[in-house]
Structure 1
Amino acid sequence: MNDVINATTENFAAEVLEAEGSVIVDFWAPWCGPCRQLSPILDQIAAEHPNVKVVKVNVDDEFDLATEYRVTSIPAIKLFRDGEVKKEVVGARPKGALEKDFEGLLD
C-alpha cells in the first residue's frame, strides 16, 4: 500500500509537480467531516493502484497552496499528471464515483 504524503509549500513541487505518473492531491482540513469520510476511500484507491500517489494538503496550514490551486471548497481532489491538473472533483464521493471520474488516469 502506498503511504499518503502530507504536502507543504516546501515539498509540493517534488511530491506532485515533478512526480512520475498520476498524483491525487486531496485538499482538506481536520475539521471537515466530508474530508474525513473521503480519506479512507483515497487510501483504498492508492492501495489498488500502486502507480498512483496520494498527497494531502491541509488547507489551514498551507493556505498559499490552496489559493494557488483555487481551492474554494473542500474536500477538493485534483489529479495531477506530468505536473498538470488533469481532473478536479469537489466534494466527498463514493469510491466507485471517484474511480469513474478518474477513469484512464489511475494507471
Structure 2
Amino acid sequence: MATTNLTLDTFPTTVDSDGITLVDFWAEWCGPCRSFGPVFERASEEHTDITFGKVDTEAEQQLASLFQITSIPTLMVFRDGVLVYSQPGALAAPQLEQLVQGARELDMDDVRAQLAAQKAEQEAQNAEQESLPATK
C-alpha cells in the first residue's frame, strides 16, 4: 500500500478508523522530511495492513495548526482512533519498524482504561478548583 495524502477533510475518517494509522507531517523544503520520506514509503509497502498517511504542512496549514505541529517531520501513530504516539524527528528504518511493532502490541483495552482514568482525574481536579473560594 502506498502512502495516502491527508487533508483537513480526509484526516478524521482516516485516523478514526479501526487499526493502525501512521501520519507523517512534512514539507517539501524540509531536508529531514525528504530523508524520512523514502523510509516511510518503504514501510507502507511492507505493512499493507496499516494505513500510512502524509500531511503536507504547507498545503494543510490549518491541520498542522490543529495538531500544534512546530517541528517537522512529526510522526503520529493512531490505533483504533486513539493517538498513541507523537514525536518530531526523522526515524531510521529500524526505529520505524520498532514503532510499528510497538503499535501492534498495544493492549488497547488498557490504553482506553488509562485514558478514562486520566480524564476522570482531570475532571476531579477541575471540580476541586471550581469549588475553591475566589481570591481577590
TM-score (norm 2): 0.71
Correspondence for 2:47: 49
Could you tell me which of 15, 29, 32 is aligned with 1:31? 29
Task: Quote how far apart the aligned CAs of 1:106 are.
Answer: 4.3
The percent of aligned pairs where both chains have the same amino acid is 35
Correspondence for 2:3: 4
Number of corresponding residues:
105
CA distance in 1, matches of 2:104, 2:68: 23
* Structure with bigger gyration radius: 2
Deviations 1:5-51 (A, max 9, x none): 1111111112222x221100000001111111111111111111121
Q: For the aligned residues, what is the CA RMSD?
A: 1.5
**Larger relative contact order (Cα-Cα within 8 Å, sequence gap ≥ 6):** 1
Task: Quote how far apart the aligned CAs of 1:82 are.
Answer: 1.5
Task: Quote how far apart the aligned CAs of 1:103 are.
Answer: 3.0
CA distance in 2, matches of 1:47, 1:85: 22
**Larger deviation, residues 69-78 vs 85-94:** 85-94
**Larger deviation, residues 61-70 vs 28-37:** 61-70
Residue 80 (structure 1) aligned with residue 73 (structure 2): no
- Greater strand share, structure number: 1
- Greater helix share, structure number: 2
